[in-house]
Structure 1
Amino acid sequence: MMVNSMLTLRAEASTVVSVDCQQKILSIVSDSDTLVPRAAKFVQAARILGVPVVRVEQNPSRLGPTVPQLAEAMGEVEPIGKMTFSLFRTAETEKAVKTAAAGRGKQLVLFGVEAHVCVLQSALDALSLGYDVFVLADLCSSVKPADWDFAMRRMCQAGVVVTTAQTAGFELLSSADNPCFKEAQSYLKQL
């Protein structure tokens, strides 16, 4: 059966990107106390399903590393630093995404902070590069809720699929017949 790639996520076509989930940023945004453990569970489920994960960090020398709980969920995934807000405007981070996505398809699943700055600019640039972009609204945050709200609206208007972590996770899982069903579901049910 042929499936429109913009309608349904597929594990074999997807790459997950964690955008700037660093303590100094997370300490000032809304709902970070729930965002971090949920993001870690989503990443664990994605990795079980064989979906590659890319970890980018904004100005890591000033803003520090990815928060430990999420970094642990990512395992051996090394962080790639950037100074630009869009990860596609830094050669190293753009290359990391292209390398992770090579031979897989053009579906990108983004989450992180801040929704109206780095996530938004990365999503819009990814669209312009031909990616099918999915943003996990419940794993994104901003200092001001209005900034988060308008970022989600703007991304929707531009053609980004805005969804939730659990919805995306179960799309990646796809079937109860999946050999990874039980293990992945144990994380997805907690989202």
Structure 2
Amino acid sequence: MALNLFTPENTAVVLIDHQAGTVGWVRSTDRDELKANAFALAKAAKALDMPLILTTSLEEHAQGQILPEFAEIAPDEYANRIRRQGVVNAWDDPAFAAAVKDAGRRDLVIAGVTNDVCTVYPTLSALQDGHRVQVVADAGGSPSRLADDLALRRMEKAGAGLASTNMILTELAGSWTSPSGQKLIPIVGELIPA
């Protein structure tokens, strides 16, 4: 039986609320690893010409500004990020919903901060709307391990796949000798501990 894997041609990357304040709330995982993984997903999307959707919530409040590294990795997406004004479930924001629809991809790779708020609800909504979703657990986090575990379990029970950044990147590569694989080798290499 053939695997129905995510490919660069059928997938969009959605990064939700990777902001200075929200990342500071994470206690379930190492914050530097979380950020490196989120940046790797953005780099992969750009390298493989995949749609990349960035969204933030209340940047002028405690959530803070989007992480500035995204401006270097994906300047257009950074400039055009969807800035939500208090909508908890990003899917309920018309601009965000339109961006996902306009991406034209059935498969979504989603990572967010925090998993127990910012990731869980759009994931459930995307599944309900017929998307296949893989949640990249190590490119997000929550204020506690329990909160993170409960959010991941809820999303998985609803039908989302759970993955690590390395799992997603290697799935998108398919083969290291493919054009996609060649583009992803240096991004994967950045995640390997020295």
Residues 6-155 of structure 1: matches in 2 within 5 Å? 8-30=5-27, 31-62=30-61, 63-77=63-77, 78-82=80-84, 83-100=86-103, 102=104, 105-155=105-155
Q: Given that residues 19 and 112 in structure 1 are in contact (C-alpha distance below 8 angstroms), is that contact kept between their aligned partners in structure 2?
A: yes
Residue by residue over 1:57-111, the C-alpha shift from the partner in whole angstroms, topping out at 9 and shown as x without a partner, is 01223233211123422221021011212111010111011112x2xx3001101
Give the Cα–Cα distance (whole angstroms) in 1 for the partners of residues 190 and 145 of structure 2. 24
Q: Given that residues 46 and 169 in structure 1 are in contact (C-alpha distance below 8 angstroms), is that contact kept between their aligned partners in structure 2?
A: no
Name which of structure 1's ranges 38-47 and 155-164 shifts more when overlaid on structure 2.
38-47
Give the Cα–Cα distance (whole angstroms) in 1 for the partners of residues 132 and 40 of structure 2. 23
The Cα of 1:152 is off from its aligned counterpart by 0.7
**Unpaired stretches in structure 2, ≥5 consecutive residues:** none
**Aligned residue-pair number:** 185
Give the Cα–Cα distance (whole angstroms) in 1 for the partners of residues 48 and 32 of structure 2. 26
Give the Cα–Cα distance (whole angstroms) in 1 for the partners of residues 32 and 2 of structure 2. 40
Give the Cα–Cα distance (whole angstroms) in 1 for the partners of residues 71 and 14 of structure 2. 13
Residue by residue over 1:90-144, the C-alpha shift from the partner in whole angstroms, topping out at 9 and shown as x without a partner, is 10111011112x2xx3001101211011100010010011100110011110111
**Unpaired stretches in structure 1, ≥5 consecutive residues:** none
- Give the root-mean-square deviation of aligned CA atoms: 1.6
The Cα of 1:147 is off from its aligned counterpart by 0.4
Q: SS at the partner of 1:93?
A: helix
Give the TM-score taking structure 2 as reference length.
0.89
Q: Given that residues 172 and 180 in structure 2 are in contact (C-alpha distance below 8 angstroms), is that contact kept between their aligned partners in structure 1?
A: no
Q: SS at the partner of 2:179?
A: coil
The Cα of 1:183 is off from its aligned counterpart by 3.0
The Cα of 1:45 is off from its aligned counterpart by 1.9
The match for 2:160 is: 160
Q: SS at the partner of 1:109?
A: strand
Q: Given that residues 24 and 64 in structure 1 are in contact (C-alpha distance below 8 angstroms), is that contact kept between their aligned partners in structure 2?
A: yes
Name which of structure 1's ranges 71-80 and 128-137 shifts more when overlaid on structure 2.
71-80
Give the Cα–Cα distance (whole angstroms) in 2 for the partners of residues 85 and 71 of structure 1. 24
Give the Cα–Cα distance (whole angstroms) in 2 for the partners of residues 183 and 107 of structure 1. 20
